[in-house]
Structure 1
Amino acid sequence: MNNYYIGIDLGGTNIKSAIFNTNFEKISEHRVQTHADKGSDVVLSRMLNSIEELLKSSRIYASEILCMGIGVPGLLDTKTGISKFSPNFSKWENVHVSQWFETKLKIPTFIDNDVRMNLYGEWYYGEGKGKSNVVLITLGTGLGSGVIIDGHVLYGTTGSVGEIGHMNMYRSGRPCRCGSYGCLGRYVSAIGMLRTLKEKLQNGNTSVIHDWVQGDYDKITAKMVSDAFDKGDKVAIDTFYETGELLGYGLANVINLYNPECIIIGGGMAAAGERLLKSARKIVDTHALQISNDTCEIVIASLGDSSGMLGAAIYASNHRRKEK
């Protein structure tokens, strides 16, 4: 009988699931929309359906799966497998994720923050390979981060080390679901950047994007902002510049606090590349401690949106070995 691992990346928009062999080579992958606004019962059921579809299409039995890892957004207790709070999910408090899946599938299940799962993927097989001091920042629906110092992934008292997205940038800024205001993630995530752009359009600035969506601003996507930037659209250029500047202040703080040798930018917005990072780098160069900045690279994640699935499988494998 062959043995396999399952890695799942639970995102605010999509559930990404994959089966890996014991060499962490991907056997099969399945993606489905999350429906994060419909509550934990619906989301867990959609995850289960995705796993069952994976097993069926791969002709692999659940008994062949050694263990499963799931990256879950927000705050959680990795020891008990409980997701305590996830800011972009409705009706999602104290969800017993590991227990739920172990009851349904009889597969040992381990959870961790979704960004840390991405960090494991990039650390083992991506831009962080061979490095001992790494910070991964994911810019997607929200902003998350994971931190490795001296070869150890940091967790903290409640497992919330690296909540850079909740770094306060304004004393009275945009409200955040964490209960505070002016959090970095409210501005430099995909949702934050789109809000900045929409505010500019609502203030009467003209943009080709207005014509593309025929005035329906709910249809605007981050890719549209990149496309408009490439066409020289001033509103898109200004939006990226302002978003990048704020990101730069956040990155300068990260460098000053953690002294990493590498900051990896991942998530869907990483596709914007230097459109976003050009102004960010300028702020970092003028605000981060020079010696720390000189030894720190800012790079784009190399594994794309597969790193969360891969990292979850690696994480589960590591924890299974520890429990033996």
Structure 2
Amino acid sequence: MGVILNGVIEKKIKFPTRANAAQEEIIQDIIQQIEALETSFAGIGIGVPGLVDEDNGIIYDLVNIPSWQEVHLKEVLEAHFQKPVFITNDANMFALGEKYFGKGRGYRNFVGITIGTGFGSGIFINNRLYGGNYASAGELGSMPYKDSTIETYCSGKFFQQHYGSSGYELFERAQHGDPKAMQAFKEYGSHLGEAIKMILLILSPEAIFIGGSVSDSFKFFEEGLRESLNAFPFKRVLNDLEILTSDVSEVSLLGAAALVQDHLEELANLAIVPSKTDIKI
């Protein structure tokens, strides 16, 4: 969680989720942490790794939190704090942060990919975030690939399952020139290149931004990625494509603020509420 004022993170905290707790217990944890963090704010923006009814703020089917199968989080938090609450998929938060605070400002159409323990992506089309139904657009990680899915081969899971080490451990070894680690990243880059080909065929964006913990290793997997992309059939599309890593600290926190700001400005334009700049996530 963080407090954002005029595009700057004023305060932030990190705390573990009691993933196996009851739905209500986890909600109370969130409320208590918000109250401890700040008492005055304009709105709350939330990103979750799952399906979201964005209009009603209902979260569905969180794989890593068994009790969160249908959570009316917007309703509960708005009733408690008497402030507007906006919720979307966490990969959309990354794309929003990159659009308003990072390299995405210069592009109308782009895809933001977050690579860590999982694989997610957020989509901007004509300068607007496109979430699709239940904020599920861009869930490329679930698409079939080889003997499993894109996420299995294009997230941190790849290194553990195929090399018996975490991505961070291999990153440390690659920095010292370890041949096996270097090969792991080249192979990983090749798989990620295949995923990007799918993105190009479906969306043909101007740019792709890569974030998340695995993106720190970009220099080690870029060669494999580029070699894979060389087989893409539409060379003009490929030649115009920018592939960049995010360099914005806490980009998803800033994206949550942008989510709130966007919605408050839309409401302000309808003369429903005044526009605010002090945003709580």
Same fold, TM-score > 0.5, yes or no: yes
**Distance in 2 between residues matched to 1:142 and 1:241, nearest whole Å:** 19
Q: 1:34 to 1:251 in 2, by over 3 A?
A: same
Structure 1 unaligned blocks of 5 or more: 1-16, 56-60, 174-181, 199-219
1:310 aligns with 2:276: no
**1:286 partner letter:** A
Number of residue pairs matched? 268
Counterpart residue number, 2:188: 243
Q: 1:252 to 1:140 in 2, by over 3 A?
A: same
SS for the counterpart of 2:183 is helix
Of the three residues 169, 189, 208, the one matched with 2:155 is 189
Instruction: Check the 8 A contact 1:122/1:302 in 2, yes or no.
Output: no
**Distance in 1 between residues matched to 2:180 and 2:86, nearest whole Å:** 44
Counterpart residue number, 1:79: 55
Cα drift, residue 230 of structure 1: 2.2
> What fraction of aligned residue pairs are identical, expressed as a percent?
28
Q: 1:122 to 1:288 in 2, by over 3 A?
A: farther
SS for the counterpart of 1:273 is helix
Q: 1:280 to 1:38 in 2, by over 3 A?
A: farther
**Distance in 1 between residues matched to 2:17 and 2:180, nearest whole Å:** 31
Cα distance per residue 1:87-122 (max 9 Å; x no partner): 333322111121222233222111011111111110
Counterpart residue number, 1:167: 143
1:141 aligns with 2:117: yes
1:232 aligns with 2:215: no
Counterpart residue number, 1:203: none
Cα distance per residue 1:258-307 (max 9 Å; x no partner): 11111000111111122122211211122252111111111001214x11
Instruction: Check the 8 A contact 1:115/1:144 in 2, yes or no.
Output: yes
SS for the counterpart of 2:67 is coil
**Distance in 1 between residues matched to 2:238 and 2:254, nearest whole Å:** 30
Of the three residues 80, 88, 93, the one matched with 2:69 is 93
Cα distance per residue 1:40-68 (max 9 Å; x no partner): 4444333323322212xxxxx2xx31111
**Distance in 1 between residues matched to 2:140 and 2:207, nearest whole Å:** 16
Instruction: Check the 8 A contact 2:92/2:131 in 1, yes or no.
Output: no
SS for the counterpart of 2:14 is strand
**Distance in 2 between residues matched to 1:140 and 1:253, nearest whole Å:** 19
Counterpart residue number, 1:272: 217
**Distance in 2 between residues matched to 1:87 and 1:266, nearest whole Å:** 22
Q: 1:37 to 1:277 in 2, by over 3 A?
A: farther
**Distance in 1 between residues matched to 2:34 and 2:233, nearest whole Å:** 44
Of the three residues 239, 249, 266, the one matched with 1:322 is 266
**Distance in 1 between residues matched to 2:35 and 2:233, nearest whole Å:** 48
**1:36 partner letter:** A
Q: TM-score, normalised by structure 1?
A: 0.77
Structure 2 unaligned blocks of 5 or more: 273-281
SS for the counterpart of 2:145 is coil
Structure 1 runs, 4 residues or longer, greater than 6 Å off = none
1:18 aligns with 2:2: yes
Q: 1:125 to 1:69 in 2, by over 3 A?
A: same
Instruction: Check the 8 A contact 2:159/2:166 in 1, yes or no.
Output: no
**2:252 partner letter:** G
Cα drift, residue 140 of structure 1: 1.4
